[in-house]
Structure 1
Amino acid sequence: MPIAFPNSLHARDVEYLLHPVTNARRHEETGPIVIDRGEGIYVYDDEGKGYIEAMAGLWSVAVGFGETRIADAARRQMARLPYYHSFSHKSNEPAILLAERLVRMTPERLTRVFFTNSGSEANDTVVKMLWYVNNARGKPEKKVILSRQNAYHGITITSGSLTGLPTNHRDFDLPNIPVRHLTCPHFWRYGQPGETEEAFTDRLVAELESVIAEVGPENIAALIGEPLMGAGGVLPPPAGYWPRVQEVLRRNDILLVADEVINGFGRIGTTFACEYYGIDADVLVLSKQLTSSYAPLAAIVFSDEIYQGIADNSAKIGTFAHGFTASGHPVSCAVALENLDVIAEKRLIETAAEKGEVLQGVLARFRDHPLVGEVRGLGLIAAVELVANKETKAKFDPVGRVGAYLFNRGHEHGVIIRAIGDQIAFCPPLIITENEIAEMVARFGRALDDTAAWVASGGLAA
């Protein structure tokens, strides 16, 4: 039986809900923080305590909480057409308008859109699309997907296999599709002693070429990558990485899938991270800030070459037999259209670059803190990595306990951050102001000092 909680809502949560990415037994002891409402960069629990949402929910609430324009757009669409599917030659106006808008926003080569409900479903769908096309091309052996260690591409069986985080694989029997995970492109952590950043890139490219030669380019369908890795710890790529990788892929007839589920719509200060890093992707995967997570939606934007292969094969066998009940959901698409209007009218993409410089500069002050090994990021996404030894970069043992303590102290100080092991991530709403950035980081700083005192007092060994 669950432990009795004074708040009946908390008790009912513990009794009935299984939470994602949560220690279920630990949750039985602690119960939830029940978030009741949101306004701007703040959320408030059911006891009235306010928190700066330094993670924009889950990397996603670009326009902040409580944007009435989006709620009104959803209400209007609910009243007109609350749902319809897009199977068997059916469509709806919001889905058509959003597809057109995304094609106009994205690079010129990307001309077609397929809607899903989440980034996980989108990346799962991408794999199926590529397998479908390669079968139609008479290349049924071309099925292997290249990914990277520490990558996050979702949590379904297929997208979870693409993900390169051991926790997401353990006891789920993943990976279970043909996937090869390459070295994580994080120079600070994985660069060798005396190795320059450029030499690190050379080594990663050499590894890519070696794996392609080993597996055979005729067996590899695509490489999938986040331009800047998010849930693996906010990891910008090393200098020259993406142009070099892209050249190797093109030379070997291997497609490039850019997962911009976190990066897209202004997070790093450009509309898409592909622009910043010079990536010419064959497939672009979008979600999260597409609707600011006010409604579930993801989009796959892909090249005409891929579309023609799908279309020809669907004509040959009678159908493209893939889709979801809510693909192109009219309310979600209406929400996305209004959300993109808000982002454009408030110039959130343009100002993200300016405010990102402020965030990166303020966080950089923690580089001298005794627990901090690295501060990194770009635009309005950043991470502070905690280490046991600043000189050797040695991790705490066990990994994650110090990060979890800091995460909980953040709640006490009114800021919701994310602990990825001992890497503390920041990804605030794009509407955040410079003064709010200062307050967010100040609250984090107090939590960090509490954590340093706990470590110094032997808390980790207790």
Structure 2
Amino acid sequence: MDGFAGLYCVNVGYGRTEVAEAISRQAFRLAYYHSYAAHTTDELAILSDRLVKVAPGKMSKVFYGMSGSDANETQAKLVWYYNNLPGKPTKKKIISRERGYHGCSVRLDDGDELLSRPHGSAAPADLHTGVPHHYWGANPGESERDFSSRRAEELDQLIERLGPDNVGAFIGEPVLGTGGITPPPEGYWGAIQAVLKKHDVLLIADEIITGFGRTGSMFGSQHYSIEPDLITIAKGLTSAYFPLSAAIVGEKVYKVLEDGADKVGAFSHGYTYSGHPIGAAAANAVLNIVEKEDLPGNAREVGAFFQAQLKEKFAQLPIVGEVRGVGLMGAIEFVTDRDRKRRFDPTLKVGARISEAARERGLIARAMPHGDILGFAPPLVTTKAEVEEIVGIAESAVRFVMDELTQDGLNI
């Protein structure tokens, strides 16, 4: 069983013939044409209209790419262009969060040091704000809401230190994905947005993982009352049946681009494969399934059962520090001392061993990179019976590794 939907992406499940047939029809009809110089195709025009209407906030236009990484680079280019036009050429810096992940390209660096530091591409530390993870980051006795207020105050101080005239945007995932599948603490997004509005800083919602139903809402932004200026999507857009990503542009940003066109011309951007007609056909077929089968609703209903099952089976185990998640995404974080919140010695590779034990028993779950964490993100078509199977296999794997640790002399 694939308990991670590939990489959070095969939302409609494997073997959906309606998507394969849409791809085939388009390949026979028109396998390729570019979207430069006002060209388009019918599937692309239909898709763009659907995305603007279904996305949260007041959206206007869509720029297409082939991966979430290039879509986030498009967002950076839009932020810079948006601020250049009204004469704010220094308002270019983009703040991300520690453990945030926004792709493997080099232009838009993010806060995931494990993935970016080895080749030297990580942004300077002064462009990162703190991880919104209450379990590890809260002061003793600090409530989630107070913790969120402190994180917002830290962001406010960072922008003041950098200079509001130098900060163009803040980028964040509604729910941290690679950073540990970590839902935001209570009050977090409301507090963060207040700071961004104060300093006229754009908000880029990275919905690459959370878009199209994973949280139980169509978009994570809707789930957490986020009002983005720009939205990045990929993964669930085609359920990975074809590479396609998009940067959705809000009316506020597009109006500035439109007004500036008379002076500097159209926004010059695109790739050879932007808006690929086969990708557009795949995306429309996937959106049909998402809407017809109400996959956000399934993620909400089955997801609630999933979260309850995770807590029931794992929350009281002596090596489990936290069970967390939302909708059909969840994580179990393992520690050697629950009371003192002490991590395992990294050389023990507890998370990786549990992931391997799960795979040996027939379940793909991910050992997350920021600790001993077992992550889940099953397809959005997952049933309650399949949840029980996923959780049952995971429990067997955890108990197997617990026994190994005990045999090795660890007191757990």
Tell me the TM-score normalized by structure 2: 0.95
Residue 447 of structure 1 pairs with residue 394 of structure 2: no
* Cα deviation digits, residues 306-350 of structure 1 (max 9, x gap): 223334445434453321111100000100000010111112111
Among residues 279, 289, 295, which one is paired with 1:332 in the alignment?
Answer: 279
Could you say if the C-alpha distance between residues 178 and 135 of structure 1 is closer, same or farther in structure 2, counting changes exceeding 3 Å? farther
Higher-RCO chain (CA-CA 8 Å, sequence separation at least 6)? 2
Aligned sequence identity (%): 40
SS at match of 1:127: helix
Among residues 76, 83, 86, which one is paired with 2:32 in the alignment?
Answer: 83
C-alpha distance in structure 1 between counterparts of 2:275 and 2:124, whole Å: 27
Q: In the alignment, which residue of structure 1 is the partner of 2:44? A: 95
Q: In the alignment, which residue of structure 2 is the partner of 1:380? A: 328
**5+ residue gaps in structure 2?**
none
SS at match of 1:300: strand
Does the CA contact (< 8 Å) of 1:143 and 1:178 recur in 2?
Answer: no
Q: In the alignment, which residue of structure 2 is the partner of 1:246? A: 193
Residue 154 of structure 1 pairs with residue 99 of structure 2: no
C-alpha distance in structure 2 between counterparts of 1:182 and 1:107, whole Å: 25
Q: 1:74: Cα distance to partner?
A: 0.2
* Cα deviation digits, residues 239-296 of structure 1 (max 9, x gap): 1111111111111111111111111111010111111111111011111111111111
Q: In the alignment, which residue of structure 1 is the partner of 2:385? A: 435
Question: What letter corresponds to residue 171 of structure 2 in structure 1?
Answer: I
SS at match of 2:346: coil
Does the CA contact (< 8 Å) of 1:133 and 1:313 recur in 2?
Answer: no
Q: In the alignment, which residue of structure 1 is the partner of 2:131? A: 184
1:209-228 correspondence to structure 2 within 5 Å = 209-228=156-175
Among residues 234, 248, 264, which one is paired with 2:181 in the alignment?
Answer: 234
Q: In the alignment, which residue of structure 1 is the partner of 2:112? A: 165
Could you say if the C-alpha distance between residues 360 and 146 of structure 1 is closer, same or farther in structure 2, counting changes exceeding 3 Å? same
Could you say if the C-alpha distance between residues 403 and 213 of structure 1 is closer, same or farther in structure 2, counting changes exceeding 3 Å? same
Question: What letter corresponds to residue 125 of structure 1 in structure 2?
Answer: T
Q: 1:179: Cα distance to partner?
A: 6.5
Does the CA contact (< 8 Å) of 1:145 and 1:178 recur in 2?
Answer: no
Question: What letter corresponds to residue 127 of structure 2 in structure 1?
Answer: R
Q: 1:175: Cα distance to partner?
A: 2.2
C-alpha distance in structure 2 between counterparts of 1:62 and 1:215, whole Å: 40
C-alpha distance in structure 1 between counterparts of 2:367 and 2:213, whole Å: 23
**5+ residue gaps in structure 1?**
1-51
Among residues 318, 324, 327, which one is paired with 1:370 in the alignment?
Answer: 318
SS at match of 1:158: coil
C-alpha distance in structure 1 between counterparts of 2:107 and 2:373, whole Å: 26
Q: In the alignment, which residue of structure 2 is the partner of 1:22? A: none
C-alpha distance in structure 1 between counterparts of 2:25 and 2:130, whole Å: 48
Among residues 79, 90, 94, which one is paired with 1:130 in the alignment?
Answer: 79
SS at match of 2:324: strand
Question: What letter corresponds to residue 142 of structure 1 in structure 2?
Answer: K
* Cα deviation digits, residues 393-448 of structure 1 (max 9, x gap): 11111167111111111111000000014111100001111011000111111111
Question: What letter corresponds to residue 209 of structure 1 in structure 2?
Answer: D
C-alpha distance in structure 2 between counterparts of 1:444 and 1:185, whole Å: 26
Q: In the alignment, which residue of structure 1 is the partner of 2:363? A: 415
Among residues 352, 355, 366, which one is paired with 1:404 in the alignment?
Answer: 352
1:256-405 correspondence to structure 2 within 5 Å = 256-365=203-312, 366-398=314-346, 401-405=349-353
Does the CA contact (< 8 Å) of 1:149 and 1:184 recur in 2?
Answer: yes
C-alpha distance in structure 2 between counterparts of 1:310 and 1:175, whole Å: 29
Does the CA contact (< 8 Å) of 2:113 and 2:122 recur in 1?
Answer: no
* Cα deviation digits, residues 114-172 of structure 1 (max 9, x gap): 1111111111110011112212221110011111111111110023x12x111112231
SS at match of 1:376: strand
Could you say if the C-alpha distance between residues 219 and 399 of structure 1 is closer, same or farther in structure 2, counting changes exceeding 3 Å? farther
Q: 1:79: Cα distance to partner?
A: 0.3
C-alpha distance in structure 1 between counterparts of 2:81 and 2:124, whole Å: 15
Does the CA contact (< 8 Å) of 1:158 and 1:176 recur in 2?
Answer: no
Does the CA contact (< 8 Å) of 1:158 and 1:177 recur in 2?
Answer: no
Question: What letter corresponds to residue 347 of structure 1 in structure 2?
Answer: D
C-alpha distance in structure 2 between counterparts of 1:146 and 1:371, whole Å: 35
Q: 1:178: Cα distance to partner?
A: 9.3
Q: 1:108: Cα distance to partner?
A: 4.4
C-alpha distance in structure 1 between counterparts of 2:348 and 2:148, whole Å: 28
Q: 1:57: Cα distance to partner?
A: 0.4
C-alpha distance in structure 2 between counterparts of 1:206 and 1:325, whole Å: 43
C-alpha distance in structure 1 between counterparts of 2:350 and 2:124, whole Å: 34
Q: In the alignment, which residue of structure 2 is the partner of 1:29? A: none
* Cα deviation digits, residues 343-372 of structure 1 (max 9, x gap): 111121112111011100110020111221
Which range is displaced more, 133-142 or 306-315? 306-315
Question: What letter corresponds to residue 143 of structure 1 in structure 2?
Answer: K
Question: What letter corresponds to residue 113 of structure 1 in structure 2?
Answer: V
Q: 1:459: Cα distance to partner?
A: 8.4
Among residues 355, 360, 374, which one is paired with 1:424 in the alignment?
Answer: 374
C-alpha distance in structure 2 between counterparts of 1:236 and 1:63, whole Å: 23
For the aligned residue pairs, the C-alpha RMSD in angstroms reads: 1.7
SS at match of 1:123: helix
Q: 1:228: Cα distance to partner?
A: 1.0
